Amino acid sequence: MATSVGTNYEEAQGAVSKADFSNKVGIALKEIRETNYGIRIRIEILDKTNNWGILKEESKELMNILDSIHSKTFKR
């Protein structure tokens, strides 16, 4: 689930062009969105006294960072 976010972002670091970088960051962004969805579902199911809220916030922050990077690569 969340490990592919880091893997895809690491791949972006070795991109051969801006378009390649943007594509790979976009994939990481899609993956973090999927992770966020999974976390939200688990929060609804699991006892809210667990630390899932912390994971949700960290995941949301990561999504915002990747979204910012991705959107800036399209601006020329």
- Mind listing the pLDDT tens digit of every residue in the chain (76 residues)? 567 888 988 999 999 999 999 999 999 999 999 988 888 877 776 766 666 777 778 888 888 999 999 888 876 5
The second-level CATH assignment, the architecture, of 3-74 is Up-down Bundle (1.20)
Task: Return the pLDDT at 28.
Answer: 92
pTM beyond cutoff 0.95: no
Residue-level pLDDT at 39: 82
Q: Domain spans of the chain?
A: 3-74
pLDDT at position 20, please? 93
Question: Residues 33, 1: contact at Cβ < 8 Å?
Answer: no
